[in-house]
A and B are shown apart, each in its own frame.
Chain A
Amino acid sequence: MGFLSGESMFGGYGGADILQGCSIGVEKGEIAVVVGPNGAGKSTAMKAMFGMLSLREGSVELDGREISDLPPQERVTLGMGFVPQNANVFTSMTVQENLEMGAFIRRDDFSATMEQVFSLFPVLAEKRAQPAGELSGGQRQQVAVGRALMTQPTVLMLDEPTAGVSPIVMDELFDRIIEIAKTGIAILMVEQNARQALGIADRGFVLVQGQNRYSDTGAALLADPKVRKAFLGG
C-alpha cells in the first residue's frame, strides 16, 4: 500500500509487543503523518520501518522490495533517510560537517546537494561554520533534516520534527517539509502536534495501542468528529 509500507507489524523491545499489527504506508511526493496518544507505538513503528527494531511478524517493503531483514545502514543506501527525535545532530561538529557526514556513504561530488539544502534552509548557510550544538532548537532540526537529505533519499522519515520548537518555527518547518515533498520525496512523520500535522498530510494514521484506529486522508481525519473528539481536543 505504497512506495514505503509496513504491513501488519508486530514487535517490541522484548516482552510484550508494542506494535499490535499496525500498517503504515506512504507514496512518493506524499506526506503521511502518524498521530496518536502517548505510548501508542508511533515512534516504535518508525523504528521498525527503519530497521532499528526487528519485527516479530509483518513486513516492510520499499518500492515493492521486501526489506524487513536489512539493517538500518543498508536501508540508507537504498534511499531511506531518518531523522531521529533526540540527539539528531553531531553537536560538536559544524553545520557543514554535519551535512558532510550525512553524505558519508556518497562517493560522488555532493556539493550540489549541499547547496540545495542551503537554499532550502538559508539560515544554515549563514551558520555553516558554527558547531551544531550552539544553534537554537529550530535551527538544529533544520540541520537534522538537512543531514538526512544529503543522501538524496527517496523516503524521508521524521520522528517528531517539531518537538520542543515554538509554533512559528513549527509552521516554518512544515512549510519546508511540504517543499521537500514537492520534489517527489515520500515523507513519513510522527507528530505530537496532530492538528497542524494532519493539516499538511495527504494521509493520516491514528494509532492506538499499536493498532490502526483510523486511516484516511489528512483532511478527512480532521473533519471526522470522532477523531476530533478523541484525539484533537474537539
Chain B
Amino acid sequence: MPMTDILNALVLLSNFVLVPGLAYGSQLALGALGVTMVYAVLRFSNFAHGETMSFGAMVTILMTWVLQERGVGFGPLPTALLALPIGILGTVLVCLVFDRFVYRYYRRQKAPPVTYLIVSVGILFILSGVVRFVIGPQDRVFADGERFILKARAFKELTGLDQGLAIKTTQGVTVVTAVIIVALLFWFLNRTRTGKSMRAYSDNEDLALLSGISPARVVAITWIITGALAAIAGTLYGLDKGYKPFTYLGLVLPIFAAAIVGGVGNPLGAIAGGFVIALSELLLTFAYKRVIAYLTPGDWIPDGLVQLLATDYKLAVSFVILVIVLLVKPTGIFSGKTL
C-alpha cells in the first residue's frame, strides 16, 4: 500500500472529523464550562444555558450589524469578534437581572435543586421568546472577513495529495478563542484570591462562610463568568454554523452530556467531555467509504457508505454516551462535584 494512500486517508479524516470536531468540541466545552460553573457554585442544572448562549450571540450579531453599517471591519477576522465584548456585557447583565429577580428569591427560600431546575426551564422560555421577538426566528449568517485559513485546493497543490484539507477562519477563531478563555478561567480559579474563594464556596459553603467569604459576591461573580462563557460559546457556534435561534435549545443536550461525561462541577471535565461528545458524534456519523478505499489494497471500494449512524441521529450519540456514563461511572471521567 503506497504511503500516499495512508496520507490521503488521514487527510480525509482530518478534514471531515478532526478539524470540525476540534471546533465543535471547543464550542461544547465552553458551553459545558458555563453549566458546570452554575452547578458547582449554585448547585442546580441550568437548562436555560443554551438560550443564554443564543441571547449572547444575538446581542453580538446586533452589534456586528451596527459596526458593519459604519464600515468597521476586523480585516481577515470576523467583525463579530469586535462586537463580542458588547455581547458579553449584555449577557452578563441578563444573567445578573435574572439572578436578582428570580433565583435570589428561591435562594432565600432555600429551595431544593429541582425547583431551580424548573425555574431555569421557565427562564429558557422567556429568553427564547425575547430572542425571537428581537431578532426573529430566521437564520442569520454574520461571519465576514476571510472565509478560509487554509483552502482545500491550496492544500492539494502544496502537498500533491488527492484529498484537500480546509480550515475555515471560524474554526480557527473558535479553537484559539477557546484556548485563551479556558487558560484565563483556570488562571482565575487557581491563582486569584477571588477565584480560590469561589472554589472554597463550591467545596464547603458553611466553612466558606466561617472564613468570611461573602456568598452574594461569589454568586454574582459566578453569573458574570457564566454569562461571559455563554456569550462567547453562542457567538462562536453561530459564527461557525450560522445563527439559527432554534438550534440552541438542541445544544442543551450535548452540552449537559459533555458536562456530565467529564464530571459535572469540574471544569477540566467539562472540557474533556466537550471533545469526547463532539468527536464521538462526528466519528459515528462519518461515512468511511473513501477512507476504507484508500486503506485497502487494490481498487476495491465498499458498496455502501460505511456509515455507522445517519447524521440525523447525531443527537442520539450524546444521549447514548450520557446513558452509558450514568450507568458505568455516574461521577464522570474526572469525578466532579466541586470547582
Contact = CB atoms under 8 A, between A and B. Distances in A.
Interface of A: 72-73, 76-77, 82, 84, 87-93, 97, 100-102, 104-105, 147, 151
Nearest to A132: B203
Interface in B208-257: 208-214
Contact of B203 (A84, A91, A104): A91
A82 B207 CA distance: 9
A76 B212 contact: yes
B338 interface: yes
Contacts of B157: none
B197 interface: yes
27 contacts: A72-B209, A73-B214, A76-B211, A77-B212, A82-B210, A84-B210, A87-B207, A88-B207, A89-B204, A89-B207, A90-B207, A90-B208, A91-B203, A92-B203, A92-B338, A92-B339, A93-B200, A93-B203, A97-B196, A100-B196, A101-B196, A101-B197, A101-B200, A101-B211, A104-B197, A147-B207, A151-B212
A76 B210 contact: yes
Interface in B168-216: 193, 196-197, 199-200, 203-204, 206-214
A88 B207 CA distance: 7
B211 A147 contact: yes
B146 to A, nearest CB: 44
A101 B208 contact: yes
A204 B63 CA distance: 70
Given A84-B206, A87-B204, A93 B212 contact: no
Given A90-B200, A93-B196, A97-B196, A73 B207 contact: no
Contacts of B214: 73
Interface of B: 193, 196-197, 199-200, 203-204, 206-214, 338-339
B190 to A, nearest CB: 9
Contacts, number: 59
A97 B197 CA distance: 9
B196 A84 contact: no
A90 B204 contact: yes
A147 to B, nearest CB: 7
Most buried by A among B196, B208, B209: B196
Nearest to B196: A97
A63 B339 CA distance: 39
Given A92-B338, A93-B200, A104 B207 contact: no
A91 B204 contact: yes
Nearest to A102: B211
A73 B212 contact: yes
Nearest to A73: B212
A105 B212 contact: yes
Contacts of A89: 204, 207
Contacts of A147: 207, 211
B63 to A, nearest CB: 38
A189 to B, nearest CB: 16
Contacts of B196: 93, 97, 100-101
